[in-house]
């Protein structure tokens, strides 16, 4: 159906690891992104993304605490979603995500903002 997002398995994403002329895909919170063109512009350098090429980079992506600008760019790079059969598996494997597993990008930003507010209040 037009507009419907294609579901990819982790094995399919793994084939797009930037090697042998393949594009570079990365999974962040169950969404599949094509970062091939973006990598060279990444302020953190392309190597950091290469490390997660064809894999789930959610933990490292979140650990850096990307801005809403980064999330906006990310949205434009979406090519599909992770196949439902792989979502649970993948989540279990990256479970140490400080309770942010089920948050949408918007919810995550809200959480970050409230953390920042606490910091300002508490000094
Ligand atoms: C898991 C892979 C990733 C890691 C480990 C990572 C890490 C980093 C780091 C360390 C910086 C800071 C650079 C500096 O200040 O010198 C940064 C900045 C940034 N990254 Fe990533 N990054 C990743 C993936 C991505 C992806 C896929 C995007 C696509 C939108 C992205 C967008 C940005 C942007 C826009 C910045 C500038 C700061 C900001 O707006 O948050 N990153 N990243």
Q: How many domains, in total, are found in the chain?
A: 1
63 is a domain residue = yes
123 is a domain residue = no
Is the Cα torsion angle 69, 48, 101, 5 positive or negative in sign?
positive
CATH of the domain at 20: 3.10.120.10
> What secondary structure letter does DSSP report for 16?
-
25 is a domain residue = yes
pLDDT at 21 over 70: yes
1 is a domain residue = no
Quickly state the pLDDT bin for 97 (edges 50, 70, 90): low
30 is a domain residue = yes
Supply the range of the domain harboring residue 57.
7-115
Q: For residue 59, which atom of ligand 1 is closest to its CA? A: 1
39 is a domain residue = yes
Distances (CA, A) of 24 to 27, 65, 80, 88, 92: 10, 22, 13, 23, 23
Q: For residue 72, which atom of ligand 1 is closest to its CA? A: 30
User: Residues 46-53: what's their mean pLDDT?
Assistant: 97
Prediction pTM value:
0.78
2 is a domain residue = no
Q: Pocket of ligand 1, candidates 64, 100, 105: which has the most ligand atoms within 8 Å of its Cβ, to mutate?
A: 64
Task: Give the model's pLDDT for residue 94.
Answer: 62
Compare 3 and 64 and report the one with higher pLDDT. 64
Q: Is 39 in the pocket of ligand 1 (CB under 6 A)?
A: no
Task: Give the model's pLDDT for residue 4.
Answer: 76
Which residue is listed with tokens 């690891």? 17
Tens-digit pLDDT profile for residues 57-89: 999 999 999 999 999 999 999 999 999 999 977
Q: What is the number of other CB atoms lying within 10 angstroms of the CB of residue 77?
A: 17
Ligand 1 centroid–CA 82 distance in Å is: 21
Q: Which of 41, 77, 111 is nearest to 57 (CA)?
A: 77
State how far the Cα of 19 lies from the Cα of 104, in Å rounded to an integer: 30
């Amino acid at each position: 159906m037009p507009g419907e997002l294609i579901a990819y398995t982790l094995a399919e994403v793994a084939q797009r690891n930037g090697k042998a002329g393949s594009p570079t895909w990365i999974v962040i919170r169950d969404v599949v992104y094509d970062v091939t063109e973006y990598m060279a512009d990444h302020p953190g350098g392309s190597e950091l993304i290469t490390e997660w090429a064809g894999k789930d980079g959610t933990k490292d992506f979140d650990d850096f605490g990307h801005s809403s600008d980064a999330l906006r760019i990310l949205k434009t790079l979406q090519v599909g979603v992770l196949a439902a059969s792989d979502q649970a598996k993948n989540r279990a494997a990256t479970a140490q995500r400080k309770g942010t597993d089920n948050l949408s990008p918007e919810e995550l930003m809200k959480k970050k903002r409230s953390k920042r507010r606490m910091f300002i209040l508490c000094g």
